[in-house]
Amino acid sequence: MIRSFYGIDVNPFVSDNVELLDHQQEVFDIMQVHSHQGGLCLLMGEPGTGKSVIKDTIRQQATKMVKVVNIGRTLHTYFNTIKILCHAFKIEHGGTSFSLEKRLIEEAYNLNNIGRILIVIIDEAHLMDMQTLRKLRLLFEDFPKNHNIILVGQLPLIHTIALKVNDDIKSRVTYSTVLPKLNPDDMELFILKELDTAGLPHNTFTEDALALIIRSCDGILRKAKNLCLSCMVGAVRARKRIIGIDIVNSVLIQPHWRIEKDIEILNG
């Protein structure tokens, strides 16, 4: 609908189009280095700050000499987690925990013998039980040093790992970072770059509309993408090619946007 109305070939503000911002590119480059020497990396941030963009880029840009495995269902027990790992490695995932661990270690060495690097991404790691994470850490200790374990999660992850009882995990962290919210200038640059990618002019949003979007998104990339996309849908329905402040306001009155403002007012 949007492509047809605006006469473009690329859907705007979708994850497939996203290029890494400068600070995301820096994180990506550092994690690539750690993949060559063995590491445990923590990638943290509030929801919507761009963790998934980096994670997806690691998968998409992996060469034939890099094996990327992703664990997204972090609420499972240790046994089910290593079954998921075996499935991701495309190896037999039946049997006891011991037999599964043995196959995983053998596969890791098989990859190492042919010069392949292994990257294991554990998503939503802040939800994972620490005992499960500890058992995984012990399993990965038996892997050859050609792997990088990346824990992706929200800020409670670092607070949990910082507890004295979890020193065995914290002491093995080789790199950690918290993705920040974007400042207004960087958020504007992000939105304009997305318009460029879709082949749309910068005046698709008026200056007032763009300023309101930036204020409403509070530095969160996902909010910016969702709000811009909703505004474009509103523009199509109104048969307007230029998005003004009236269209942005018509989106911001929706309950899921209003409740945040109401909470801010109550807390203010």
Chain position carrying tokens 């994670």 = 55
Same domain, 63 and 194: no
The secondary structure of residue 165, as a DSSP letter, is G
Same domain? For 134 and 197 the reply is no
Same domain for 97 and 203, yes or no, is: no
- Same domain assignment for residues 171 and 191: no
pTM to 2 decimal places: 0.86
Q: Are residues 76 and 130 in the same domain?
A: yes
* Residues across the chain: 268
Beta carbons of 189 and 33 less than 8 angstroms apart: no
Cβ pair 11, 186 in contact under 8 A:
no
8 A C-beta contact, residue 44 and residue 153: yes
- Of the residues 179, 201, 219, which one is the last residue of a structural domain? 179
Phi, psi of 94 (to 5 degrees): -105, 155
Task: Name residue, tokens 């993705």.
Answer: 179
Are 99 and 209 members of one domain?
no
Query: Residues 124-177: pLDDT tens digits?
Result: 999 999 999 999 989 998 988 878 899 999 999 999 999 999 999 999 999 999
**Domain boundary at 149, 179, 209, which?**
179
* Structure token pair of residue 131: 């005992």
Per-residue pLDDT tens digits for 4-20:
999 998 888 886 656 78
Question: How high is the pLDDT of residue 36?
Answer: 78
List Cβ neighbours of 142 (8 Å cut-off, separation of 6 or more). 101, 105
Range of the domain at 202: 182-267
Q: Which of 38, 182, 180, 188 is nearest to 117 (CA)?
A: 38
The CATH number for 98's domain is 3.40.50.300
| Residue pLDDT, tens place only, 212-264 | 999 999 999 999 999 999 999 999 999 999 999 999 999 999 998 886 665 55
Question: What is the number of alpha carbons within 13 Å of residue 192 lying toward its C-beta?
Answer: 12
Pick from 179, 197, 216: which residue ends a domain? 179
In this structure, the answer to whether residues 212 and 239 fall within a common structural domain is yes
Q: Do 158 and 244 belong together in one domain? A: no
- 49 and 165 part of one domain: yes
Are residues 78 and 170 both part of a single domain?
A: yes
| Residues 6+ positions from 189 with CB-CB distance below 8 Å | none
Interacting residues of 49 by C-beta distance below 8 A, sequence separation 6+:
179, 180, 181, 219, 220, 221, 222
Does residue 187 form part of some domain?
yes
